Amino acid sequence: MKRDFLFYISIFFIVIVALSAIFAGYITPYDPYSINPNEILQPPSFHHLFGTDRIGRDLFTRMIFAGRISIEVSFIAVGISTVLGVFVGAISGYYGGIVDILLMRFTDVMLTFPVFFLILAVVVVLGPNILNVMFVIGLTSWMGIARIVRAEVLKIKNMGYVQAAKLLGKNDFYILTRHIIPNSLSPVIVYATLGVGAAILAESGLSFLGLGVQPPTASWGSILSEGKDVIEIGWWMSFFPGIVIFFTVLSFTVIGERFK
């Protein structure tokens, strides 16, 4: 426990964030969309733990509900990138030859683009909304997983149990799904855990720029963006979303590093 203190703290923080997002409606008495002109830019207090925003909405409430969006987007995006990366890496490593060359060269080309700017360009073309953000982040973040899976498959496909399955007449789909892919997922789980933090940063960055989640729906990035305009008189609007993003990403990074 002493040796992994930071790991357990990270687990605890992620659990708190997840439970807060799931039970958001039971934690706070305020409506995240309720405007109160009499409480504009109130500092943190007993009644408003994180203060209020520019139109009198309770910031703590909005942060909790925004956590739902940020975590949902990041997990779905990582799920998409993981499935796509595993598929491309498994096919490339298993069949080799021209299939491997074509898929890996395409992967290399995708890796040459700065990921965030690629996401930014695609979102600008498709339009800013939650679904587009999920799919764009997922479809532009699979390359690392594909390379990891390919390397694992190249080792596993020559193992005795795979050769035995071939001798028994099992088809490629059976061998890939029952023997090769399940045995190559350990590093993928680690990479996906780290990917959640990266996806949260990407979603927050897009929302900060106004290209992610659109008002009145809140995400941590959009709340941070709202706070930048009043940072001199309402520091809490930038501080709390910034600190939550920081510790959430840090926690996922620590968890992923722990299992490397």
3-state SS, residue 58:
strand
Q: pLDDT tens digit string along 75-109?
A: 999 999 999 999 999 999 888 889 989 999 999 88
Whether 18 has a pLDDT exceeding 70, the answer reads yes
Q: pLDDT tens digit string along 180-234?
A: 888 888 888 888 888 888 888 888 888 888 887 777 788 888 888 888 888 888 8
In this prediction, residue 2 carries a pLDDT of 58
For residue 46, CA distances in Å to 30, 49, 193 come to: 14, 6, 35
In this prediction, residue 260 carries a pLDDT of 64
Whether 258 has a pLDDT exceeding 80, the answer reads no
In this prediction, residue 171 carries a pLDDT of 86
* Beta bridge partners of residue 58, listed in sequence order: 52
**235 Cβ contact list (under 8 Å, min separation 6):** none
**Region class of 41: left (phi > 0), else alpha (psi between -120 and 50), else beta:** left
Give the confidence band of 247 by pLDDT, cuts at 50, 70, 90: very high
Q: What's the one-letter identity of residue 258?
A: R
Distance between CA 144 and CA 81 in Å, rounded?
Answer: 9
Q: pLDDT tens digit string along 102-141?
A: 999 999 888 887 777 777 777 778 777 778 888 888 888 8
Q: Which CATH superfamily is domain 71-258 in?
A: MetI-like (1.10.3720.10)
Question: DSSP code of 182?
Answer: G
In this prediction, residue 250 carries a pLDDT of 92
Instruction: Flag the least confident range among 71-75, 210-214, 242-246.
Output: 210-214
Of the candidates 236, 45, 246, 206, the one whose C-alpha atom is nearest the C-alpha of residue 228 is 236
When pLDDT is averaged across residues 154-173 and rounded to a whole number, the result is 84
In this prediction, residue 91 carries a pLDDT of 92
Of the candidates 204, 206, 197, the one whose C-alpha atom is nearest the C-alpha of residue 120 is 206
3-state SS, residue 52:
strand
In this prediction, residue 126 carries a pLDDT of 78
Q: Which two tokens stand for residue 181?
A: 């892919």
Whether 33 has a pLDDT exceeding 90, the answer reads no
